[in-house]
């Protein structure tokens, strides 16, 4: 609101709020720090879990940073930006989400101290950008080359990603499964499309029962009980066309005036379906996966021909089946030929936890595989899936980049020390920001120590001393509380996890710092909500926020 010759001028709508200057910055920083604080206790091998209960009472128990932040019902706009950091980290690398958010929170905390010393936000932002760029250079020099064929090292990477998760009990077996699955679907140049690894969850059994299927697992059952349950040396047809009589493209009406005409019509329908089935049989296929429907009469004829068939198979499953078996997805009944078929050593319907599933196994050089996750309860199975997802992501990232760094806080301590040296060469007020950035990175080893019940100050002093003596691979062993060589301990992470975390955290911190004015529109009440064209309709009573 402004004042002109005693007359108030309303600029914002009634009910809108405006926060300016230090109040706006303080509010945003406090919200971001609160989000970072919420996930901080989950970091590291001794991190704790969170139980999240949604509005309808569904429970999620996890220590996966991005899952926690996605499930939290966050309202504050600056806090939502912290959630975006985690989502970006998850999309790009698949791991290190908690690290990215914790670093962003600490960068803002250190920036707040500089703001109290009257350092301008744009100076801090400039210093942070310089520091982030330099940090990524330092990490790149610290990185160690790894060969995609070094399965022992890939297993260590998967092991590090799973440590501290619910999957830790059967970690050795799960790491083997992850490395096996990723190397199977990897292309010659080392690129990995992790969409070709299907994770299928089934409650029942124990974590140890989790297995890799060298082929595909389809959550469907045979369409007819007379069909064979097991077919060896399978020839597989993937069909994206209905095995039903053709309906007319336009609305049509058929007038039948006598019972003979009706019978002739039904006979013709059956003949059409029979001819479709004959084309499938003539192709020499003995397994059929159909993306569309299969008519009841067709089911009978397919069963008589000894063909195992499943219908309404998901498009994503059809694509994976094509990669696993070498088949082509056929879109027309007339286009079916023996050359379009794929092969598998065994196709079998089995009961898993009381539900029928079709296993396509013993595929020759499968480029799509499935992992069937087992566990005692739904919460256990969900957490195992998240752990496997993280491990698959980090192993695929290392196979593509062929670079890794030691874990246990070693990269952060090394980068912090080098940034302090770099800051001295920069000078000016930007030096303060770079030094603040360096100190902020130490939050990772500090948090690892706190979560393990160790003294964070003693830990940092010991780590700094080790790195000053050129032991750049030394990180914190949370089980002994000592600074040890992380490469020898087998604690390693992909380089991209660290570089992406620092880039995302610094960009988000800079964006939040540059905000000096928050103008929030008033939230409409249910009565004020605009009526959609044509009345309130179905959505009219739902209310909600706009």
Third-level CATH fold of 149-212+368-401: GROEL; domain 2 (3.30.260)
Cβ contact 368:324 at 8 Å: yes
**Distance from first CA to last CA of the chain, Å, rounded?**
23
Catalytic residue among 42, 67, 88, 97: 97
Please tell me the distance from the alpha carbon of residue 26 to that of residue 111, in angstroms, as a whole number. Answer: 10
Tokens of 331: 């879109």
pLDDT band at 70 (very low <50, low <70, confident <90, very high): confident
- Calculate the dihedral angle through the C-alpha atoms of 66, 146, 175, 190, rounding to the nearest 10 degrees: 80
Question: Which CATH architecture fits 18-145+406-520?
Answer: Orthogonal Bundle (1.10)
Cβ contact 399:186 at 8 Å: yes
- pLDDT, average across residues 263-291: 81
pLDDT band at 5 (very low <50, low <70, confident <90, very high): low
Give the sign of the dihedral formed by CA 109, CA 110, CA 114, CA 119.
Answer: negative
Minimum mean pLDDT among 173-187, 252-266, 446-460: which range?
252-266
Is the pLDDT score of 263 beyond 70? no
Third-level CATH fold of 216-365: GroEL (3.50.7)
pLDDT in tens, 285-331: 889 999 888 888 888 888 888 989 999 998 888 888 888 888 888 88
Element (H, E) at 200: strand 197-203
Q: What is the pLDDT of residue 101?
A: 92
Please tell me the distance from the alpha carbon of residue 199 to that of residue 138, in angstroms, as a whole number. Answer: 36
DSSP 309: E
Catalytic residue among 98, 160, 163, 210: 98
| 54 included as an active-site residue | no
Residues 6+ apart with CB under 8 A from 333: 239, 241, 243, 276, 279, 280
Domain ranges of the chain: 18-145+406-520, 149-212+368-401, 216-365
pLDDT in tens, 99-108: 999 999 999 9
pLDDT band at 530 (very low <50, low <70, confident <90, very high): low
Q: What is the pLDDT of residue 254?
A: 66
- pLDDT, average across residues 390-409: 87
Q: What is the pLDDT of residue 520?
A: 74
| 219 included as an active-site residue | no
Catalytic residue among 49, 64, 159, 295: 64
| 122 included as an active-site residue | no
Cβ contact 92:496 at 8 Å: yes
Judged by phi (left if over 0) then psi (alpha if -120 to 50, else beta), residue 326 lies in left
DSSP 402: -
**3-class DSSP assignment, residue 3:** strand
Whole-prediction pTM: 0.79
Cβ contact 103:442 at 8 Å: no
Minimum mean pLDDT among 260-264, 326-330, 410-414, 441-445: which range?
260-264
Residue count of the chain: 546
pLDDT in tens, 213-239: 888 888 888 888 888 898 889 899 998
Please tell me the distance from the alpha carbon of residue 430 to that of residue 13, in angstroms, as a whole number. Answer: 40
């Amino acid at each position: 609101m402004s004042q002109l010759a005693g007359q108030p001028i309303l600029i914002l709508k009634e009910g809108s709020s405006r926060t300016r200057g230090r109040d706006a910055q303080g509010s945003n920083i406090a919200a971001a720090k609160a989000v970072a604080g919420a996930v901080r206790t989950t970091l590291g091998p001794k991190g704790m879990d969170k139980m999240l209960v949604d509005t309808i009472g569904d429970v999620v128990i996890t220590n996966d940073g991005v899952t926690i932040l996605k499930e939290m019902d966050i309202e504050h706009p600056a806090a939502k930006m912290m959630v975006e950091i985690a989502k970006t980290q998850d999309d790009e690398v698949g791991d290190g989400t908690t690290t990215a958010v914790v670093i962003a929170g600490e960068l803002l905390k250190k920036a707040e101290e500089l703001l109290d010393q009257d350092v301008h936000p744009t100076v801090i932002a400039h210093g942070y950008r310089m520091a982030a760029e330099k940090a990524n250079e330092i990490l790149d020099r610290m990185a160690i080359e790894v060969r995609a064929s070094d399965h022992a090292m890939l297993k260590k990477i998967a092991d590090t990603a799973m440590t501290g998760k619910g999957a830790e009990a059967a970690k050795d077996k799960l790491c083997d499964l992850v490395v096996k699955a990723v190397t199977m679907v990897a292309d010659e140049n080392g690129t990995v499309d992790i969409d070709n690894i299907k994770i299928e969850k089934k409650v029942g059994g124990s974590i140890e029962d989790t297995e890799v299927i060298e082929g595909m697992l389809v959550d469907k059952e045979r369409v007819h009980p007379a069909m064979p349950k097991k077919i060896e040396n399978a020839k597989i047809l993937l069909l994206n066309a209905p095995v039903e009589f053709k309906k007319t493209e336009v609305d049509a009406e058929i007038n039948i005036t006598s019972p003979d005409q009706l019978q002739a019509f039904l006979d013709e329908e059956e003949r059409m379906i029979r001819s479709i089935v004959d084309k499938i049989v003539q192709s020499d296929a003995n397994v059929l996966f159909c993306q569309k429907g299969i008519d009841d009469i067709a089911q009978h004829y397919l069963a008589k021909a000894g063909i195992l068939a499943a219908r309404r198979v998901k498009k994503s499953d059809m694509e994976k089946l094509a990669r696993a078996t070498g088949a082509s997805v056929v879109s027309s009944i007339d286009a079916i030929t023996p050359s379009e078929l794929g092969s598998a050593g065994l196709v079998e319907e089995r009961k898993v936890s009381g539900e029928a599933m079709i296993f396509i196994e013993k595929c020759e050089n499968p480029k799509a595989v499935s992992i069937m996750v087992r566990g005692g309860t739904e919460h256990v199975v969900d957490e195992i899936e998240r752990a496997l997802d993280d491990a698959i992501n980090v192993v695929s990232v290392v196979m593509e980049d062929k670079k890794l760094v030691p874990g246990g806080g070693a990269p952060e301590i090394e980068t912090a020390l080098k940034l302090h040296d770099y800051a001295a060469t920069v000078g000016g007020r930007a030096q303060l920001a770079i030094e603040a950035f360096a100190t902020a990175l130490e939050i990772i080893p500090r948090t690892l120590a706190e979560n393990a019940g160790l003294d964070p100050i003693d830990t940092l002093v010991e780590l700094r001393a080790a790195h000053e003596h050129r032991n750049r691979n030394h990180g914190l062993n949370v089980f002994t509380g000592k600074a040890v060589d992380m490469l020898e301990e087998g604690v390693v992470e992909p380089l991209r996890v660290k570089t992406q975390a620092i880039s995302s955290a610094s960009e988000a911190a800079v964006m939040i710092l540059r905000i000096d004015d928050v103008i929030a529109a008033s939230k409409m009440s249910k009565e004020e909500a605009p009526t959609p064209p044509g009345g309130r309709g179905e959505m009219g009573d739902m209310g909600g926020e706009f």
